Every structure is written in structure tokens, then in C-alpha cells.
Amino acid sequence: MAQEKIGVYVCHCGTNIAGKVDVEEVTRWAAEQPNVAVARNYKYMCSDPGQDLIKQDIKEHGITRAVVAACSPTMHEPTFRKAAADGGLNPYLLQMANIREHCSWVTVDGEAATAKAKRILGAQIHRLPLNEPLDPIEVPVNPNVMVVGGGIAGIEAALKLAQAGKKVYLVERDPSIGGHMAMFDKTFPTLDCAACILTPKMSAAGKEPHIEMLAYSEVTEVEGYVGNFKVKVRKKARYVDIDTCTGCGLCTEACVVRKVPNEFDRGLSKRAAAYIPFPQAVPLRATIDPTRCLTLTGKKCKQPCLTACGPGAIDFDQKDEEIEVEVGAIIVATGFELWDPTPEKRYSYGKLDNVLSSLEFERISNASGPTGGHILCKNGEPPKAVAILHCVGSRDENYQEFCSRVCCMYSLKFAHLIKEHLPECEVYECYIDMRTYGKGYEEFYKRLMNEDVHFIRGRAAEVTDVGLSPTEEGRLVVKVEDTLLGITRRLPVDMVILSSGLAPRSDAKETAQTFGFGCSANGFYLERHPKLEPVSTVTDGIFIAGCCQYPKDIPDTVAQAGAAAAGALALVDNPTVNVEPTISYIDPEKCSGCHICVGLCPHAAIQYNEEKGVAEVITAACKGCGVCVAACASGVPQQRGYLDEQIFAEIEGALAV
């Protein structure tokens, strides 16, 4: 091996590294290491002058390898590899030594941190002479995009991509797109009617020729890699031919099963087994509920729906259908679930009448809801007093520790709507802190304070129906400590609204696994970087948007959807994309043809060549996990960038100090 000239660059990262690690000492030490030609330190290596140091040294000192001891490679490896390339060095001849996340930030003692930094850096200095120049592998990009989830995030992303001329597959699990926003009555703080602003977008998505709507469908399998995903989608049987159905609703009227809890009204109304979820549904097509339809559950039925349906769209023999779609990028926007308040037993949800979840109240206040928009108790009377309890299940270590960000605002919206419908009704907001952080939000809060709403600072202790006085008898009583007055209060009310937090979907973990990314500790999808890549995931080409990433309001959701669409577009608008060249190869001279690696490869990227009697790596299919390398008894498969000898050298370097 020719003598290599290594350049070492130790970053101070302001005081992030230099505050703990003695960067001068590390630099001095590095200069003495074998093959090191230049060792420098600099305040911010990622700045332009910092990067220029590398480029200059390549030109002036002829360095042939470089290592930057700085932050995590996840952060700045692309930055420095590009700098190396700009300076004329193959980017894969530059390594990073992570002495920030893995060293200065996690170590208490400065001396120990300095020693550890040397070991981390030493590993890279040792491996560098063995690095080989590599060229990225260029692969074609499928220009189509899949958007999973047809709520406002998915609709927005799909429309943006369609506007850019991309073919979009919009997959929605329910019979109609629209998501949670379609259930809302008004939106805060502007009090726009949710339907008025959402339905045009839904209908645009339905009509947009570039969007192929796959409603009542679910993704079952995702294969492939950036620019080249193969997605299996199960189109659930609607038992209605979607092309023939006109959405007239006659089957719904004819259906004899009439008492199915209507999901769209959160069970507050009933629907038929043949149903259209709501009047503005897109696609406006009927669906027959296979769990309730008499015919489909093997019971006797005269099937009046068949007679009622003019075009003859009903087809009881329809089966689920699996299709495979090829796309270059995927946006996952699967939304949230309202946190179910049942476990919070002291609020008696599901036990006492007129204790409602926030989504139930959305439906009650909605003109298309079960009460026609009249705010009524179960007995049909308007409430004389309503309590709105904040932070149900939220900011609570028993349930969800986080703040769901939208509940304070929707609670204020509820108070306003109640006051608007029933000016004489007393409204109490029991809150821990009011969090009104968005544009126009604090102003809305102030407005509500002038609308005679009672604000009580205190998390409600209990909802009970045990009345202790004539004003309490036969009503609900909310017990709450008013922490501003320092007294406990009993609020006799007729309706209690539980402002539940937003929860990750109960199958979020499985969904994340299907798409190949992870979940955060709180269960929402994990973004690639919380600040700078909030809509990317660890899997290149797969993006996330909306409340599946974390609770957020509609403006933020729409903004994120746009960002995800832009991310996907930036990928699929190119004919090709570069993928990491760190894949495996097999030397046919050494391979004995034992087959072990063939069966172990998770991506079926190794095939056995009968003619030559050896295993061969299919370059385009290999993802670079290295399982074959570790499995081969003879060490024949090797992984570029992670050769055994390179890893050995790292181990030696790490333990040499």
C-alpha cells in the first residue's frame, strides 16, 4: 500500500465539542499518528472556511484521505464528502469521527472525553488507508408518487404533486377521503366552516386526472428502495361496482339493517349496512358493510337494495383485490386517533350520559350531524351549563405525557359555538395552562374571555352524578380545584366535553414497519431530523406529513403536506437518483458455491449461477446490509465501505490508544 497522506480536522463546534474535549490536545495527538500529514482544528468545520481547509489541503498538501472529527455523520457527512469531492478527492475517502453526539455531549469528565475522542478518531485514522474510492450507483427514478392517507394532509400533498404533473396514487383506508377534518364543524380561530374549505379540495382530488384514488384500500407491503418502490395495495371489496354506482343513496334507503353505529358521527347516529359515510363523500359511492349486511353475514334477506339500485351496481360476489403499484416516492399521512377517554375513569366517559368526547361534540355542533347542529343533551333539551375539560389524557404520565397542541384551541372554539347557539348557557373551561400559540390564537382566547366564558385554572378532578344540593340533583357535577382562587369548586352542568388529546393510530407501529421507518417514544412516526428534516424518514424516498408525525393544527398540517410533496417532487422530478455504493460483491474465484448467503439475503439480491457454480450479487437489488458478509464461512462476500479489513482496522485504532 502506498503511503497515504491523511488530513485530520477537529471541529470545536463552538463550545459543543471544545467545551468538553481538549481539541488542541486531540489535534496534537492526531498529528503524531501514522499516515497523518496534516492535523488542524477549527471553530466550525461545517462553515465555508472550515470546508475550504479540506479543499486547500487537498490541493496544497496533496492529502489523499481525510477525517473530520465533529458531529454525527448523519448530520454533516454529505457536507464534508461534497467538500472533498469539490477539492478533487473521491468522497468515500473521507470519514467522519463522531466526537460530539457520541462523546462531548454524553461524557461528564473532560479528560475522559478527550481520551474517548482520541479513540473514536483513532479508529477512523486507522481505517482510512484501506478506504477505496467508490462511485455512487445511479438508478432510474419512477416518476409516480403514492400518498397514503386521505385526510387533509394526504389530499393537499396529492393535489400539489398532481399540479406538478405527477401521477399520484391516493390510498385511503375508509370508503371516503376527508379524514378527521371532514367531521369538524368550524375551524379555529377563523371559524371557517370546515366542510366549506375541505370539500372543494376533496372534490378537486376526486376529479384530478393525475390522481388515481384508491379509497377503501390499504397498503399491505412495500418493497424496493428510493425511486423504485413496489407497493402492494389491497382494495377491499365494497360489494358495489364503483364505476357503475352513481352515489344516489337508494340502496341506503332500501337497506333493512338500519341500526349500525355511524362511525362518521362517532356512533351518535345510526346508518344502514349499505351506506355512504357522509353526503360530501369522495368518491361518492355506496359501500356495503360486510360485518352487518344480512346477505354477507349469511343471513336471510330479501335484498331490497338490489331492486332499489337502478344501475345494478351491487355485487355480493365482489372480492378483495390486491394490486401492485410502482412509485418513486411515498408520502405517509395516516393521521391520528382521538385519545379514548374511557381509561380516565374519574371522568365517567361511557358511564354517564352527556359526558362527550371532543369529536362527539364536533358532530353534535355540526349542521350535518346527529342533532342537525343543535346543541342538545341526550334528553333533547339544550344544556344550561357545559363544562369543557382540557388535557384529558394529555400532559399526564399515566397516559400521554405530551401536549397535543390543538385541544386548548378547539376547546375555545367549542365555548364560542355554545355561546353562539345558546347565549344563556354557562360555559366553563377547566384548563391547566392555556396554550394559544398560533396566528390569531391568543386574540381568539381574548375574544372568548369577553364572551362570558368562565375560565377555571385547574385540571378537573372528577365528573359525578351524585348531587349534594337541589341545584346539583339530576345533573352532572364537575369537581375542580380553582388554583387561582385556591378553592375547590363543584360545577353543576348538563354536559361535559372531554378535550382529549391526539393519539398515534393504534396500528402506527405496524404501519411504520411496513414502510421501513420507526416511531418516536410517544408513538408518532419518527422524522429523520426533528428540526431540519421534519418530513423525511430514515428511508430515502419515504416522507411523512400531518398528525401521524405529531399532533398539529390544520395550517401546520397543510404546510407539512406541501413540504412532503416538495420533498417527493425533488426526488421524482429527476430521471435518476444516486444510491449508496456500499453494497456487497462476491469474488467468483473464491466462492465455493455453498449457497449459505443465497438464502440469507433479505432482498433476494444473491443468486446462484448454476453454470459457474458460484453465488452472484445482483447489484441493483443489494441494499448493503452486509448479512452475507458476516454469514460466509470463507469471508468471500465483501461489502464496499465496510470491508472486513476496514472494520478490523477501526477496531485496532479504537483500542490502540
Partner 1 sequence: MRYLYYPGCSAESTGMAYDISTRALMEKLGVELVELDDWNCCGATSYFSVRELDSFAIAARNLAIAQQQGDEDLCVICNACYTTLAKTNRYMADSPHVREQVQGALKAVGRRYDGTKPVRHIMDVLVNDVGLEAISEKVARRLTGIKVAPYYGCQYSRPIGSFDDTEDPQTMDRFFEALGADVLTDFPAKLKCCGGMMMLTNATGAVRLCHEILKSAEDLGADVIVAACPLCEMNLEGYQPNVNKAYGTHFHIPVMYFTQLAGLALGIDPKQLAIDKQVVSCAPVLAAIPA
Partner 2 sequence: MSDQFEPRLIGFLCRWCSYNGADLAGTSRMKYPPNLVPIKTNCSGRVDPTHIFKAFAEGADGVLIAGCHPGDCHYINGNYRTAGRFPLMKKMLEQLGLEPGRIRLEWVSAAEGDKFARVVTEFTEEVRALGPLGWNTRTPEEQADAGQASSDRVEEAVPA
CB of 623 to partner 2, least distance (A): 6
On whether the CB atoms of residues 85 and 91 are closer than 8 A, the answer is: yes
Within 8 A by CB and 6+ apart from 480, the residues are: 430, 456, 458, 459, 460, 461, 488, 489, 491
CA pair distance 342, 87, nearest whole angstrom = 62
72 binds partner 2 (CB under 8 A): yes
Q: How many residues bind to partner 2 according to rule CB under 8 A? A: 55
Please pick, from the candidates 38, 123, 325, 561, the single residue that binds partner 2 as defined by CB under 8 A. Answer: 123
274 binds, among partner 2, partner 1, none (CB under 5 to 8 A by kind): none
Distance between CA atoms of residues 353 and 474, nearest Å: 11
Least gap, CB of 486 to partner 1 (angstroms): 14
DSSP string, 363-431: HHHSTTSTTTT----TTSPPPSEEEEEEEESSS-TTS--S--SSHHHHHHHHHHHHHHH-TT-EEEEEE
Nearer Cβ to partner 2 (437/648): 648
Which one among 254, 519, 594, 621 touches partner 2, defined by CB under 8 A?
A: 519
> What's the full length of the chain, in residues?
657
Site for partner 1 in 300-319 (CB under 8 A): none
Task: Return d(Cα 585, Cα 592) in angstroms, integer.
Answer: 14
Asked if residue 340 binds partner 1 (CB under 8 A), the reply is no
Q: Residue 146: which of 217, 229, 202 has the closest Cα? A: 229
Q: What CA–CA distance (Å, rounded) separates 44 from 55?
A: 15
Among 113, 240, 260, 542, binds partner 2 (CB under 8 A): 113
**What is the closest distance, in whole angstroms, from the C-beta atom of residue 359 to partner 1 in the complex?**
23
Q: Of 345, 439, 590, 612, which one interacts with partner 1 (CB under 8 A)?
A: 345
**Residue 608 in the binding site for partner 2 (CB under 8 A):** no
Beta bridge partners of 68: 9, 96
Amino acid in position 589: E
Contact between 626 and partner 2 (CB under 8 A)? yes
Considering the rule CB under 8 A, would residue 401 count as an interface residue with partner 2? no
The option from partner 1, partner 2, none interacting with 73 (CB < 5 to 8 A, set by class) reads partner 2
| Residues 6+ positions from 255 with CB-CB distance below 8 Å | 272, 273, 274, 275, 293, 304, 305
The separation between CA 224 and the C-alpha centre of its own chain, rounded to angstroms, equals 20
Site for partner 2 in 87-106 (CB under 8 A): 98, 100-103, 105-106
Q: With the C-alpha atoms ordered 571, 576, 581, 584, is the resulting torsion angle positive or negative?
A: positive
What minimum distance in Å lies between the beta carbon of 98 and partner 2? 7
Q: What angle do CA 515, 569, 322 make, to 5 degrees?
A: 40
Closest alpha carbon to 535 in 553, 520, 516, 548:
548
Q: Which is nearer to partner 1, 485 or 630 (CB)?
A: 485
Binding partner selected for residue 101 from partner 1, partner 2, none, CB under the kind-specific 5 to 8 Å limit: partner 2
In sequence order, which residues have a C-beta less than 8 Å from that of residue 441 and are 6 or more positions away?
188, 189, 409
Residues 569-588 as x/- pattern, contact with partner 2 by CB under 8 A: -------------x------
Cell of 150: 386521505
* Nearer to partner 1 among residue 182 and residue 463 (C-beta): 463
Binding mask 457-476 for partner 1 (x = CB under 8 A): -------xxx-x--------
Question: Using CA atoms, how far apart are residues 217 and 600, in angstroms rounded to an integer?
Answer: 32
Query: Please, where are the H alpha helices in 573-637?
Result: 596-600, 627-631
Contact partner, 193, from partner 1, partner 2, none, Cβ < 5-8 Å per class: none
User: 465 touches which of partner 1, partner 2, none (CB within 5 to 8 A by kind)?
Assistant: partner 1
List residues near partner 1 by CB under 8 A. 344-346, 351, 464-466, 468
List residues near partner 2 by CB under 8 A. 72-74, 98, 100-103, 105-109, 111-113, 115-116, 119-120, 123, 512-513, 516, 518-521, 526, 538-539, 582, 600, 602-603, 623-627, 629-631, 635, 639, 642, 644, 647-648, 650-652, 654-656
